[in-house]
Structure 1
Amino acid sequence: MKTFVLSTLISVAALGNSFAGTAPIDPSNEKKNATALKETAAFHQHNMVTLYNQYDLAEARIKTSRGNHAELDRDHKFFVGLYQQDIANGIRVEQSKKAIEEINARYAKLHAERDAYEAKEIAKLQKHLDVALKKEEKAFNKATKALSKTVSAAR
């Protein structure tokens, strides 16, 4: 009889401990999870805004780097201006006209090369941005899954 009572007490104690292990739905715990989810979303949103800002800065840096279109236009205008002064003064008119045509062709080619360079560099930037955004998306999805599991486990 003592063993029966003792085994019953042990079973009741074990059963009580198993029920004590499952937490009842705690509204403050749900509030913490919701707050954590909001903070996680805000964190990843901030990271994405930062990535876009960095992309914009890098793109501007490429477009204003040495040899950009504005510099090419400035140089073109200067050299053509020199030959136009010669034409206006009546010095080597035919040679100056021919030189202006050569300068125009050269700078058209330089502009095309610059366009190709910028397009190539911007394509690289876009690829890096895409990779970084996908990485952020994965991290965000992972965090939301973890938080949703803790919410569903609490219920």
Structure 2
Amino acid sequence: MKTIVLSTLISVAAFGNSFAGTFNDPSNDKNNVTTLKETVAFHQHNMVVLYNQYDLAEARIKASRGNHAELERDHQFFVGLYQQDIADGIRVAQSKKAIEALNARYAKLHAERDTYEALEIAKLQQHLKVALKKEEKAFAKAQKALSQTVIAAR
């Protein structure tokens, strides 16, 4: 008995909704145009948020531990120690070799950091691409649903 009552109520509600949509009320058209404008604004806002999140994540990757600035500071510090030894005349030949070794080591570390950042940013770009495609599909769906009301409002 409950099933029959529920199915009847659902049928009546569905029929009432379809019947209510058949009347062409001018205020309803205005509401639909307003809804479309709000939908466009919503999706534009989402796009801006996605790009802002991308920019923040990219900056976070570039500023993470072991970034180029930190590597350069460490490099300058250690080279400075050996240059001080050279200036003081202590272990000159060994200090020059150590500076060359440091230069090679830090050049390698910078190259590794470039590779790491490139890979992380590529992943980030892929995530952005997926999110933008999802947003594009949602916008197209909303646009299609409301396109008839825009045409009717003109």
1:32 aligns with 2:21: no
Q: Provide TM-score, normalisation by structure 1.
A: 0.81
Residue number in structure 1 paired with 2:104: 105
Q: Is 1:74 the equivalent of 2:73?
A: yes
1:67-86 CA deviation, whole Å, 9 max, x = no partner?
A: 00000000000000000000
Q: Say whether residues 1:59 and 2:58 are aligned partners.
A: yes
Paired residue secondary structure (1:96): helix
Which residue identity is paired with 1:30? D
2:151 maps to 1:146: no
**Matched residues, number:** 135
Equivalence map 1:124-143=2 (5 Å): 124-143=123-142
Gaps in structure 2 of 5+ consecutive residues:
1-19
**Separation of aligned partners in 1, 2:22 and 2:39:** 27
Once superposed, what is the RMSD of the aligned Cα atoms?
A: 2.0
CA shift, 1:21, in A, is 8.3
Residue 148 (structure 1) shift: 1.6
Shift of 1:27: 2.2
Maintained 8 Å contact 2:82/2:99: yes
Tell me the residue number matched to 2:120: 121
Return the letter of the residue paired with 1:92: R
Q: Determine the C-alpha separation between the residues in 2 that align with 1:127 and 1:136.
A: 14
Where structure 1 has 5 or more consecutive residues not aligned to the other structure, the ranges are 1-19
Q: Which residue of 2 aligns with 1:95?
A: 94
* Amino acid aligned to 1:31: K
| Largest Rg, 1 or 2 | 1
Seen in structure 2, the aligned counterparts of structure 1 residues 144 and 71 have a Cα distance that, compared at 3 Å, is same
TM-score by length of 2: 0.82
* Matching residue's letter, 1:98: K
* Mean CA deviation greater in 63-72 or 143-152: 143-152
Aligned counterparts of 1:112 and 1:143: Cα–Cα separation in 2: 46
